[in-house]
Amino acid sequence: MMVKRNAELIEKILDLRKRKKAVILAHNYQRGEVQDIADFVGDSLELSQRAAKTDARVIVFCGVHFMAETASILCPDKTVLLPDINAGCPMADMVTSEKLIKRKGELPGATVVCYINSSAEVKAESDVCCTSANAVKVIKSLDAKEILFVPDQYLGHYISTKTDKKMILWSGFCSTHVKIQPQDITKKRLEYPQAKVIVHPECTPEVIALADEVLSTGGMCRFAQQTEAREIVVGTEIGIIHRLEKENPDKKFIPASEKAACPNMKLITLEKILWALEDMAPEIKVPEEIRLKAKAAVDKMLKVGRD
């Protein structure tokens, strides 16, 4: 029954996608059926690179609010749709432009680097943006002694272990990645002694210390294809397991913790993608004044590329 319903939805979505000249972009944490219908599935950096160069008229962004906003920052002439307007990112909400402006006043010499998981207003107040795929490279590229990094304290801490720059960290964190505990990794290592352990830099330093590799979600997909290991413990949001299994049917992927499910990423469904294409809503549009300032920070990041 469910399969038939999905098949009908997929048929309608594909028809509308063609008629509206739309492209469907999906983050690696999206539901399996959403990833399967997308034109492109990737990490935050790859998705912004894709958005920047698409010639489609409409971008259906299957991800969370800041990702659709980044697409709108890069493509002001395109219609950017976020199939569920409530798909936000709690970490991005942990810093506001008001609070950032106040902190900048206290640190006049500091260069501000914002994680892409932030609002357009926060990006507009930042010197440069980064994702987990290029954070170390972006920070190393800066001619700055002191860096204020917002909002993810754990990504910020991880970068600080890779550079000699003075990093002042905001106190934000990802409420999904903190669910992965050091004891989860220890347990999986005992269960799967041959496995490689890969974790996302949004994990706590205690979890990172127990990992073999620290990677963005795109980095994890590349690692999975290249490694000789047959078993891989994955310390990030569990939606990525779908793609990893699809691309590597001969390997076993073990979630570090089943609790690491981002409720916001899961708000996007096939039904909502269809409704978004039918109604051309909810649309995400960044006001021009903020967009231009935010774009400067995003463009600087895109020039750097990935780690």
Element (H, E) at 128: strand 128-130
| Interface map 70-109 toward ligand 13P (x if CB under 6 A) | -------------------x--------------------
Radius of gyration of the chain (CA): 19
Q: Is 145 buried (19+), middle (13-18) or exposed (0-12) by CB count in 10 A?
A: exposed
Selected binder of ligand 13P within 217, 223, 232, 238 (CB under 6 A): 217
Element (H, E) at 199: strand 196-199
Site of interaction with ligand SF4 (CB under 6 A): 64, 89-91, 117, 174-177, 202, 237, 262, 264-265
Contacts of 11 (CB under 8 A, 6+ apart): none
Any contact of residue 30 with ligand 13P (CB under 6 A)? Answer: no
Cα separations in angstroms, 140 against 114, 159, 181, 301? 14, 9, 29, 12
Residue 131, contacted partner among ligand 13P, ligand SF4, none, CB below 5-8 A by kind: ligand 13P
Selected binder of ligand 13P within 30, 111, 117, 257 (CB under 6 A): 117
Of 2-10, 40-48, 74-82, 292-300, which part binds ligand 13P (CB under 6 A)?
40-48
| Interface map 194-213 toward ligand 13P (x if CB under 6 A) | ------x-x-----------
DSSP state letter for 110: P
Closer Cβ to ligand 13P, 275 or 299, answer by number: 299
- Give the separation between CA 273 and CA 267, rounded to whole angstroms: 11
Phi, psi for 257 (deg, rounded to 5): -150, 130
Any contact of residue 35 with ligand 13P (CB under 6 A)? Answer: no
Please tell me whether the peptide bond between 76 and the residue prior to it is cis, using omega within 30 degrees of 0: no
Please tell me whether the peptide bond between 255 and the residue prior to it is cis, using omega within 30 degrees of 0: no
DSSP state letter for 237: -
Q: Least distance (Å) from ligand SF4 to the CB of residue 240?
A: 10
Residue 141, contacted partner among ligand SF4, ligand 13P, none, CB below 5-8 A by kind: none
Of 128-136, 179-187, 277-285, 297-305, which part binds ligand 13P (CB under 6 A)?
128-136
Q: Are 202 and 217 in contact (CB under 8 A)?
A: no
* Both tokens assigned to 251: 């390997």
Closer Cβ to ligand SF4, 152 or 307, answer by number: 152
Residue 175, contacted partner among ligand 13P, ligand SF4, none, CB below 5-8 A by kind: ligand SF4
Closer Cβ to ligand SF4, 202 or 307, answer by number: 202
- Give the separation between CA 152 and CA 111, rounded to whole angstroms: 16
Selected binder of ligand 13P within 17, 43, 172, 297 (CB under 6 A): 43
Element (H, E) at 294: helix 288-304
Nearest to 269 by CA among 245, 239, 241, 246: 239
Residue 24, contacted partner among ligand SF4, ligand 13P, none, CB below 5-8 A by kind: none
Residue 210, contacted partner among ligand SF4, ligand 13P, none, CB below 5-8 A by kind: none
Using CB under 6 A as the criterion, which residues of the chain lie in contact with ligand 13P when the complex forms?
Answer: 28, 43-45, 89, 117, 131-133, 174, 200, 202, 216-217
